[in-house]
Amino acid sequence: MLETPPSTSATTENGAARRSLATAPASPPAGICLDPAEFRGPLFEHWAQRMRIEGLVRSLPESLAALRARVGIPSSADRATWLGMDEPTVRAVEDIAAGLRGTPWPQASATRFARYVRDGDRVEYEAAVMARRDRLAAAVVTAAVTDAQEWLDEAADGVVMICEQSTWCWPAHDDAHERRGFVLSDADSPYLDLGAGEVVAQLAVADHVLGERWDASWPGLRERIRREADVRVFTPFESRDDFWWLGFWREVNNWNPWIIGNVLLAAVLLLDDRDRVARITARALESLDRYVATLPDDGAIDEGVAYWWNGAGRMLECLDLIARITGGDLDASGIPVVREVLRFPMRMHLGGDWYVNVADGPARISGQQPWQLPFRWGTRLGDDRIVAWARAARRPGLPAGDVGSGLPRLLRSLSDAEWIATTPSAPPLPRCVWLPSVQVLVGRAHPGAVDGLTLAAKGGTNGENHNHKDLGSFIVAVDGLPLIVDIGKPTYTAQTFGPDRYDIRAMQSGWHNAPTPFGLEQGDGAGFHTDVVRAPSVAAEPGNTPRQGANDETLPIELELELGAAYPLREGDSWRRTFRLASARRIEIDDRWLLHGEPDAPALAHLVVAGVVEAAGTGIRVSHDGAGIVITTSEEVTPTVEVWELDDPELIAVWGAQLTRLTYEMHASAGRLTTIIEEAR
């Protein structure tokens, strides 16, 4: 999922390297617009002409009611279904709705929107809109369960308020400032982004669930929803090829399936023209095919697990919807990369809610993940490991879905009786996974258990989506808890995707567990990369091939990378790093370097750790929550210790009050240093 536009100073939110403050060109460069009719991606090759309009029309039911029934979300008129919904989930949603009813709805004000341009803050406006979204979702579910007029009214209030927003687009994505210098949106030219896609899908599902009741008590409300959806979403989607995320003139990332899936769901539920639904579906598939074509054979996502849920996961939801509305005529379960991408987050699991994180991903998941999604796909594909991984997150007696995941995902979970009834199981936690497309290794001491040490190491390039300068970095976890850590994503601001992105500490190579030859930061862009000298020698992971992943019962597990090309070094300079899970209780990081010329600064090796740091003989002990490691070096180098008192709420939520960086200083232009990490009980 690499982005191809030219690179200079930083990586944008949509993955492209930027030449200015714009997140993406407003229109395609002359002469390179790709003809949709000429593109042949995995979906087209699998389905051939059936994904074209003529084939889709034949696959769709004649009745729009029958089409909407295939979506699998019940109308509130189906009283038996709604009265039988999962009690813990319904009770949790009703409690949220009751706690909010009678209070003022959050204000998505102009001042909050304008802050992105004025001072770079995007959180205040987004938080207000998300709070509206969550309140509306809670009201819709409560209205459907109770069939009470006061909740139908509460949901209608939320719908009208959202319809009256000047824009459904996030301020950080709106192009009105770039095109016209506005600090607000341009009502005559609505931009279709992630935010607008989320809104239209929520309104469509709300209309589908409560529409018959609203016809009686709120005549005109449903027409208002359709009018706004047409102006803000459907017409732009049908008529504009200049949205970069369509993939018609540049490569795409998670925006593509995230927007397309929401637009397609809304079209099926709101449009009253069957042929128009078919046209939008065909266009959606022509665009989605470009995203599927970017996925590597091993299914890895360079943005990491956090973005899997809103990238590849959205793709899976969209493909499920396509299969449903076409009566199974267009079923993507036989496409190999679909199977592989489903397995990616399971392969990155450290234990509990901790995951191997790269790029703008947090190490700890939020708890609002729609686990029904991998459960349903794992069941569909007969992949017992995926089913077990999803079941590991299920807690009987607790909600099976979450308002914060959005109304469509909440109702998919509520409507899946098999998911509701499932019981917890142990996650698979494979012994060793190697994903060559992103050069990520995960190896653990004990397969199928969090006990003991887990090592994760990363190579790749610095031109990846949501890139951090993390080449050659690694993570060490004990009992599933990371102690040598990747800092992850701080709160997004305008700087995050601006030319000063790498002034943010969490995104610098000096604040990853990577070396600093001659005091140099890693370079920016795909040209700065690592080379695999020696890949792990591993047996085949169940359901996979040796090249794509592994589950090996033997130790050691090793990966050797050449890091020289990750830095702006002289030709012939080398920094060779070997990652070795040597035994169940010992990890070794072996650095060998040869740097020519007179150094301007010493060579450094950094470790960022979470927990209590204290001296332990000739080494350093790091401990947290009962887990511990002792770090020593072959040359008994004493590190300097720097404490970072965290002030970012997102980082604090993951790591607590502080992180610590250990810096090992070497003054030789050529040398070797082995860092030894041992489990300490």
Report pLDDT for 600: 78
Q: What are phi and psi of 153, to 5 degrees?
A: -70, -45
Q: Give the single-character DSSP code of 540.
A: B
Report pLDDT for 37: 58
pTM: 0.92
Tokens standing for 349? 């699991």
Convert the pLDDT of each residue in 259-309 to its tens digit.
999 999 999 999 999 999 999 999 999 999 999 999 999 999 999 999 999
Confidence of residue 649 (pLDDT cuts 50, 70, 90): very high
Tokens standing for 93? 């949603």
Report pLDDT for 49: 65
State whether the Cα torsion 356-361-363-368 is positive or negative. negative
Percentage of the chain modeled with pLDDT above 90 = 85
Residue 163 has pLDDT above 50, yes or no: yes
**Residue 494 carries which side chain, given as an amino acid letter?**
A
Percentage of the chain modeled with pLDDT above 70 = 92
Residue 553 has pLDDT above 80, yes or no: no
CA distance 527 to 128: 40
Report pLDDT for 35: 56
Average model confidence (pLDDT) for the chain?
Answer: 91
Identify whether the C-beta of residue 168 lies closer than 8 Å to the C-beta of residue 195.
Answer: yes
Convert the pLDDT of each residue in 528-541 to its tens digit.
999 999 999 865 45
* Closest-CA residue to 315 (of 249, 251, 373): 373
Convert the pLDDT of each residue in 586-612 to its tens digit.
999 999 999 998 777 899 999 999 999
Tokens standing for 63? 């009745």
Identify whether the C-beta of residue 476 lies closer than 8 Å to the C-beta of residue 587.
Answer: yes
CATH architecture of 432-679: Distorted Sandwich (2.70)
Residue 239, H or E segment: helix 235-239
Identify whether the C-beta of residue 155 lies closer than 8 Å to the C-beta of residue 136.
Answer: yes
Residue 159 has pLDDT above 70, yes or no: yes
Residue 323 has pLDDT above 90, yes or no: yes
Q: What are phi and psi of 534, to 5 degrees?
A: -145, 115
Query: 349-377 as b/e, with b when 16 or more CB fall inside 10 Å?
Result: bbbeebbbbbbbbbbbbeeebbbbbbbbb
Residue 461: other Cβ atoms inside 10 A: 20
Tokens standing for 434? 């190697």
| Burial (0-12, 13-18, 19+ Cβ within 10 Å), 641 | middle
Domain coordinates of the chain in residue numbers? 73-240, 366-428, 432-679
Lowest mean pLDDT among 209-213, 422-426, 540-544: 540-544
Contacts of 297 (CB under 8 A, 6+ apart): 336, 337, 340, 437, 548
Contacts of 222 (CB under 8 A, 6+ apart): 207, 211, 214, 215
Report pLDDT for 31: 41
